[in-house]
Structures are given as C-alpha cells and as structure tokens.
A = this chain, B = another copy of it.
Amino acid sequence: MTEKAVPDIVVGRLPVYLRILNYLIDEGRYITSSQELGDRLGISSAQIRKDLSHFGEFGKQGTGYDVMFLRDQLQKILHVDRRWSVVLVGAGDLGHALAHYRRFNDAGFDVVGVFDSDPQKIGQQFGKYMIQDVSTMGEVIQEHKVKMGIIAVPPAAATEVAKEMIKLGVVSILNYAPVTIMVPLGVRVQYIDPVVHLQHMAYYHNEEAL
C-alpha cells in the first residue's frame, strides 16, 4: 500500500517542466520530446524521462509527448489544477511587490489578505488590498480555508509569524525572511533569499576580477 515516495528533488523540478510546457503551448506547439525539454532546461533528456516515470507513462515511443496532455497531467500531479488561497504577511516594499505579482494569479494562487503588525500600516490601502492587522489573520484563513502563507517580514518577526500561521492551519510557507524556521512534521517551508544567491555566485569570482 505504501508506495515509495517520490524524491523531493524530483517534485521540485516538475514546476519547471510545467513552466516550459506552458511556453510551448503559447508557441502553438503540440508535440515535444524529452530531448527538447532537456535542451531548453539545460538538463539531460534521461533525467526528464526518469522524473516523469515516477508518476506514470505520459509519452509515446517514437513520437514524444503531447504538450497539452503532459501539462494537464503535471498540473494534476502538483495539485495546481485548482486555485489556492494564500495569505501574505509583511507590507513592506517586498510585500507590495508580492501582493501585486501577476504570476501568482496566472498560476492559480490568490492572495486573499495582506497583513502587518505595524499600526502605522494597518488600515492603509495597498493597491487593491487593505493592510489588515496580523492578529485578525485567523478569520481570513478560516473563511478562505487558507493552507499557504508567504512571509515577507523582518527576520526578527519571521519565526513568530510562522508559528501563528501554522497554528491557524497553514501547512506550506514561502519564507522571504533570512532565517531558518523550525516547523512541526507535516509543515513545509521554502526559502527565498537573494543575498544567498549573490554570495553563492561571488564565490566563483576570482580575486583579480575586481
């Protein structure tokens, strides 16, 4: 009964495959191959076939993959063949950009509330959102059955915000604060820290490169 779990690293590549498939559809393409997908992603065709094989058989020997069919299948696998409600905490510059990020909507993620703890900000209009007191987040989460949250607060506040989200039923957190968050089993956190990426790349710059 317990099928062996798909490696998380494989799951993490599916959204990228999905992204390419959407571009191929935009380009009016109907058929593609693991070779083409790999070329456009800079990975091997074998890896793509292996990754997909964890979930079933989606192609035809000699032909390749039906772009739309594979797209639909990946959407189902990722559970993004529906819309998700998301709460956003942190109404700074970053929060502002995230609240208005079109691609969230395009991809089926709806920001249903923007929250902050700063009395100066609460009540202010934030584009189409009104900034709400983070202490009232529970109502919004309940109303929209929110399972996902985005944290865009200063590092010192992030842990507390995460704890509150989790208490209110959020199980997936996208964390922009530069701190590691400890979460109970069953809760997932993904991190985005641009500084980490810049520092990572700085490593490869030679001394003389100044």
Contact = CB atoms under 8 A, between A and B. Distances in A.
Interface stretch (A57-65, A113-121, A129-137, A198-206): A198-206
Given A107-B195, A192-B192, A196-B19, A203 B77 contact: yes
Contact of A205 (B96, B171, B207): B171
Contacts of A12: 196, 200
A67 interface: no
Interface in A1-37: 11-12, 14-16, 18-20, 23
Nearest to A16: B196
Interface string A139-178: 0000001011010000100000000000000011010001
A80 interface: yes
Interface string A181-210: 010000010101111111111111101011
24 contacts: A12-B196, A14-B199, A15-B193, A15-B196, A15-B200, A16-B196, A19-B193, A40-B180, A78-B199, A78-B200, A79-B203, A94-B97, A103-B194, A104-B194, A148-B198, A150-B194, A171-B205, A172-B198, A172-B204, A172-B205, A174-B194, A174-B197, A190-B197, A190-B201
